[in-house]
């Protein structure tokens, strides 16, 4: 029996995922978490085979949560869930140790397939993720400017482009205002941008924000 932990801050979505899993004979939901702290604590204290982990959690970024889970339990299979297209977060999630990445709009059958696959020790690579991975096999000169950003810098960029202030970003990422300001300065330098306006224009042009 595959034991699955669902970590998502939306109760309706958790209920829907739990329903799909409960209708599958070889798997069961062993727990639910609505934030990062709960997910890490549950995985630490209970036997879990697969974690369905949302990219966006209220107390901590999903990628940071993923790294914490993999640090404590290297063999734990973590399947990232997101409403964002695969080309935005999938590559970063897989590089950080995720066993797979699934868009929340995916069909229920894909979810079941993905869980079984990662529980068996393999990676789940959807056609969209495979295409994104193939797109990275290019000369460095052809890589987009944001590809050089760290995960924290990348998230800072997206939040700035979404219209959030440094203080709001600091609260959302559980960081100090000073640290967020450092990330902002670094990403502007790496991407050769002058200000938030140019950053927002870049993010919108490359469809990095909704």
Residues 70, 78 contacting (CB under 8 angstroms): yes
pTM, to two decimals: 0.74
pLDDT score of 141 more than 60: no
**Residue 50 neighbours by CB distance under 10 Å:** 25
Sequence-ordered strand ranges (E) for the chain: 2-7, 27-33, 50-54, 77-82, 100-103
Q: What is the CATH number of the domain that holds 186?
A: 1.10.10.10
Same domain, 119 and 54: yes
Q: How many domains does the chain have?
A: 2
pLDDT at 44: 95
Residues 153, 161 contacting (CB under 8 angstroms): no
Q: What is the pLDDT of residues 56-95, one digit of tens each?
A: 888 888 899 999 999 999 999 999 998 876 767 888 898 8
Residues 163, 157 contacting (CB under 8 angstroms): no
Q: Write out the residue range of the structural domain in which residue 52 sits.
A: 2-134
Same domain, 54 and 119: yes
Whole-angstrom distance, CA of residue 210 vs CA of residue 207: 7
Extract the tokens encoding 10.
Answer: 């939306």
Same domain, 79 and 117: yes
**Boundary-marking domain end, from 102, 119, 134:** 134
- Mean pLDDT on 163-186: 92
Same domain, 49 and 117: yes
């Amino acid at each position: 029996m595959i034991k699955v932990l669902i970590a998502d801050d939306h109760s309706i979505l958790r209920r829907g995922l739990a329903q799909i899993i409960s209708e599958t004979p070889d798997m069961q939901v062993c727990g639910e978490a609505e934030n990062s702290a709960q997910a890490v604590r549950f995985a630490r204290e209970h036997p879990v085979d697969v974690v369905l982990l949302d990219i966006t959690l209220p107390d901590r970024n999903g990628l940071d949560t993923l790294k914490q889970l993999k640090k404590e339990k290297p063999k734990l299979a973590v399947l990232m869930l997101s409403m964002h297209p695969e080309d935005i977060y999938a590559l970063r999630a897989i590089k950080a140790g995720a066993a797979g990445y699934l868009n929340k709009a995916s069909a229920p059958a894909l979810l079941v397939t993905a869980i079984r696959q990662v529980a068996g020790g393999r990676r789940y690579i959807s056609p969209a993720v495979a295409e994104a991975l193939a797109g990275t096999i290019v000369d460095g000169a052809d890589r987009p400017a944001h590809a050089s950003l760290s995960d924290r810098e990348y998230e800072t960029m997206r939040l700035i482009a979404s219209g959030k202030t440094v203080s709001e970003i600091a609260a959302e990422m559980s960081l100090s205002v000073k640290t967020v300001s450092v990330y902002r300065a670094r990403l502007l330098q790496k991407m050769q941008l002058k200000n938030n306006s140019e950053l927002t224009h870049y993010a919108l042009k490359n469809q990095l924000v909704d």
